[in-house]
Amino acid sequence: MATAPRYRFNHLSGAYAVAGDGSIVGADGVRGTEGLPPLPEGHLREFLAALRSQVPAHRFRTTNTAQTRRAIKGHHYDDILLIHAAHLLEEIDKAMGLLGKRLAEWYAITLPELVEAIPAAETLAKRIAGSSRSELLASLGMDDSSSLGVGLPEADDRAVRSLAEVIVSLADVKRCQAEYIKTGMERLYPNYTRLAGAAVGARLLAHAGSFAAIVRMTASKLQMLGAEKALFRHMRTKAPPPKHGLISQHPLVSGAKRGDKGRAARMLADKIVIAARVDYFKGTYVADRLYEELEVKLCRS
């Protein structure tokens, strides 16, 4: 450096010492730069221009790449993991619905009375997977002659039972994922989970994309989350506007009277947003007080 360093400047690519003649050098290679005053704001534009001309471009790329890698590795993925689990639950529900319908239509060929008596897909699958046709006939108080169905060859019966076993397995995965979501939500977001519930809270989280997005939302936007199609239909065709979205699945909203559901959804959304912000900024547990206030307001309305 031609003259003694006068200022110190911390840049994304590192710390630099600036001399009176405008020359620049890395501060790490010069002694006595720790106590230098910062570069005056009036010289900032001039310094950055000199920095671009004196420092190789690859150094900026290398530094930026390293900082990006550190930011990615240091990012917290807790809400992303819960979002994947929530999406998985929805996909399992859809899969079980489709497979359950297929199982009912398939097994109705051999034992339609059982399919009519047990409409629930998971329960029907458990009965088919765990019992033979003769055992199922006996449980219904019937015999082969009184049933409208026909016996299936062993290969066909095995194919139907394999589908039933898949549905039972999916139901087990669904229960495990639901417990995982409940445990994770209560651990990470205790106030939010107490107000929204683990299931509804996870769906809201998945729809918003991140917990930070929920924190930034207004209560009115949270109330409409999941009802975007109905909202746009109202704006486009002047159809009746929606009063709530996913939040309608909450017991306090679904259990309200028909004319009070919109008011209940708005009150609940207010409290959920408050609870989410308390959790985000690592506040104390205030969910019980918020829930009691909500119940009092709903009783008065």
- Output the DSSP codes for the chain: --S-EEEEEEETTEEEEEETTS-EEEGGGSTT-TTPPBPPGGGHHHHHHHHHHHS-HHHHHHHHHHHHHHHHHTS--HHHHHHHHHHHHHHHHHHHHHHHHHHHHHHTTT-HHHHHH---HHHHHHHHHHS-HHHHHHHTT--TTT-SS-PPPHHHHHHHHHHHHHHHHHHHHHHHHHHHHHHHHHHH-HHHHHHH-HHHHHHHHHHHSSHHHHHHS-HHHHHHTT-HHHHHHHHHH-PPPPS-SGGGGSHHHHTS-GGGHHHHHHHHHHHHHHHHHHHHTT----HHHHHHHHHHHHHH-
pLDDT tens digits, 266-275? 999 999 999 9
Topology match between the domains 78-182 and 189-300: no
The larger pLDDT score, comparing residue 72 to residue 217, is at: 217
Asked if the model's pLDDT at residue 198 lies above 70, the reply is yes
Taking residues 83-92, what's their average pLDDT? 95
Domain 189-300 has CATH 3.40.50.2300: no
Asked if the model's pLDDT at residue 39 lies above 70, the reply is no
pLDDT confidence of residue 287: 94
Taking residues 103-107, what's their average pLDDT? 93
Taking residues 232-256, what's their average pLDDT? 87
The larger pLDDT score, comparing residue 50 to residue 24, is at: 50
Spell out the CATH class of 78-182.
mainly alpha
Confidence of residue 52 (pLDDT cuts 50, 70, 90): low
Asked if the model's pLDDT at residue 149 lies above 60, the reply is yes
Asked if the model's pLDDT at residue 107 lies above 70, the reply is yes
pLDDT confidence of residue 1: 45
The ranges assigned to domains in the chain are: 5-73, 78-182, 189-300
The larger pLDDT score, comparing residue 152 to residue 52, is at: 152
Taking residues 69-83, what's their average pLDDT? 76
The larger pLDDT score, comparing residue 241 to residue 248, is at: 248
Taking residues 234-262, what's their average pLDDT? 87
